[in-house]
């Protein structure tokens, strides 16, 4: 496609406008990145108080599959993206009839379904050099019985719904055949995958950006720590992972993006398995067809953020290879921070936190704090890893954050 240049206008005098389906914090940070370059923005999101809708030039307040809303978005915008993978793939397909859409409906559809996603990882294992954990598909009682009879090697495992699972939702750990049968019934007998539980040494992710004509750039892998299935801490600095393992993860993520013919920013998550080797084995877990929570540190620690690259990719602009100029640790801020130990509302210790050197606070503009709800993040940067760790620990203590032992 021809580049959509920032600050340009068409023959009718309409400004260059980029659109996004979804009004959450990822959409908000995308909007900020696009506006910084001079683009107008449009958000399609049903919530009238959505973080992205509140800061965009245009907010189309309809459901994601509303024909009138989609037509209005297409009329306003020269290119369109999505901020989360569970937007209806059909909506992206409809928009793509008249506008460039990145990523496309087909690849978003793969990421929406764990069964298709794992099949894709298996199909490109030869070029990526990694595969996923052993698993079985459960869509029918007969498939469940076959697993109970023939695949005891998958237990203990994690039963995951094929669709709509994120941040630990739609997942049940099972140790025995009886627990597996009960868990599948508890999940409503919907399509699932049973994934063998592996001895994990670490988790990491890689952010890749790919343009319309195949140009690819990427960030160095970051090491992630989760609490209750939700990202708590991201370590992003040289030495956060063994160099050889980091190189393998980066190469694998690029290969997966190329195999998909992907356009936009893609996050690929990996498990590092404690298999007895010096650095452990690498297993691909899942992918997110969008910027990712683990990449938020790039706003403050790199000369181009994941959101900058998303804007460049969808607008057909050159993709700069990002350079990380500072070591960083990112701390996720959930709604729990706004409540004390007895559950009473409290004001977080912002004054003390913002007094710390290298503290970068990002709040998402959500009006109601709830336990487990992503309200913001705090990135700590500094001149060296030791000082960043010291400040991050202090910030985590002030805010009573989980994952302190992992910093």
Closest CA to 205 of 117, 265, 154, 263: 265
Instruction: Give the 3-state secondary structure of residue 356.
Output: coil
Query: What six digits make up the tokens of 235?
Result: 């370590």
Q: Report the distance separating Cα 344 and Cα 294, nearest Å.
A: 29
Q: Each residue of 158-202: pLDDT tens digit?
A: 999 998 766 567 889 999 999 999 999 999 999 999 999 999 999
In the block, residue with structure tokens 């993860």? 249
* pTM of the predicted protein model: 0.95
Q: Which value, to the nearest 10 degrees, does the dihedral of the CA atoms of residues 270, 271, 275, 281 take?
A: 10
Strand ranges (E), 96-191:
131-132, 135-138, 157-161, 171-174
- pLDDT tier, 293 (very low <50, low <70, confident <90, very high otherwise): very high
pLDDT the model gives residue 385 = 98
Q: Which residues are annotated as a binding site?
A: 114, 160, 165-171, 195-198, 203, 226, 285-286
Cα diameter, the chain? 67
Which domains does the chain show, CATH number per domain? 17-101 (3.40.50.20), 134-196 (3.30.1490.20), 200-406 (3.30.470.20)
Joined together, the tokens standing for residue 285 give 């877990």
Binding residues for ATP, by number, are 114, 160, 165-171, 195-198, 203, 226, 285-286
The pLDDT tens digits for 82-98 are: 998 889 999 999 999 99
Give the three-class secondary structure for 337: helix
Per-residue pLDDT tens over the stretch 294-351: 999 999 999 999 999 999 999 999 999 999 999 999 999 999 999 999 999 999 999 9
**Average pLDDT score over the chain:** 94
How high is the pLDDT of residue 315?
97
């Amino acid at each position: 496609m021809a580049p959509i240049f920032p600050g340009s206008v068409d023959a009718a005098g309409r400004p260059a406008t980029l659109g996004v389906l979804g009004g959450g914090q990822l959409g908000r940070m995308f909007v900020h990145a696009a506006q910084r370059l001079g683009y107008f923005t449009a958000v399609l999101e049903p919530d009238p108080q959505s973080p992205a809708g509140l800061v965009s030039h245009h907010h189309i307040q309809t459901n994601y599959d509303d024909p009138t809303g989609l037509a209005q978005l297409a009329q306003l915008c020269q290119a369109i993206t999505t901020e989360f993978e569970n937007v209806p793939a059909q909506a992206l397909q409809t928009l793509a009839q008249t506008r460039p859409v990145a990523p496309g409906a087909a690849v978003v559809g793969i990421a929406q379904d764990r069964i298709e996603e794992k099949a894709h990882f298996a199909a490109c294992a030869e070029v990526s050099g990694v595969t996923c954990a052993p698993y079985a598909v459960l869509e029918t009682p007969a498939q469940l019985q076959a697993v109970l009879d023939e695949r005891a090697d998958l237990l203990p495992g994690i039963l995951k719904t094929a669709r709509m699972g994120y941040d630990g939702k739609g997942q049940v750990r099972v140790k025995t055949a009886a627990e597996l049968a009960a868990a599948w019934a508890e999940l409503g007998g919907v399509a699932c995958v049973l994934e063998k539980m592996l001895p994990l040494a670490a988790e990491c992710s890689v952010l890749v950006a790919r343009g319309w004509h195949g140009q690819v750039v990427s960030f160095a892998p970051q090491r992630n720590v989760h609490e209750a299935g939700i990202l708590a801490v991201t370590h992003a600095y040289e030495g956060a992972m063994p160099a050889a393992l980091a190189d393998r993860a980066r190469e694998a993520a690029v290969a997966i993006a190329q195999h998909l013919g992907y356009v936009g920013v893609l996050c690929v998550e990996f498990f590092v398995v404690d298999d007895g080797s010096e650095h452990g084995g690498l297993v691909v877990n899942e992918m997110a067809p969008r910027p990712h929570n683990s990449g938020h540190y790039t706003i403050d620690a790199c000369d181009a953020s994941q959101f900058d690259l998303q804007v460049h990719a969808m607008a057909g602009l050159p993709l700069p290879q990002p350079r990380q100029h500072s070591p960083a640790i990112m701390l996720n801020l959930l709604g729990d921070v706004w409540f004390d130990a007895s559950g009473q509302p409290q004001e977080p210790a912002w004054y003390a936190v913002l007094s710390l050197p290298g503290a970068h606070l990002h709040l998402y503009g959500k009006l109601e704090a709830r336990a487990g709800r992503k309200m913001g993040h705090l990135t700590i940067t500094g001149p060296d890893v030791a000082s960043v760790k010291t400040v991050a620990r202090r910030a985590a203590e002030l805010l009573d954050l989980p994952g302190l032992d992992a910093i």
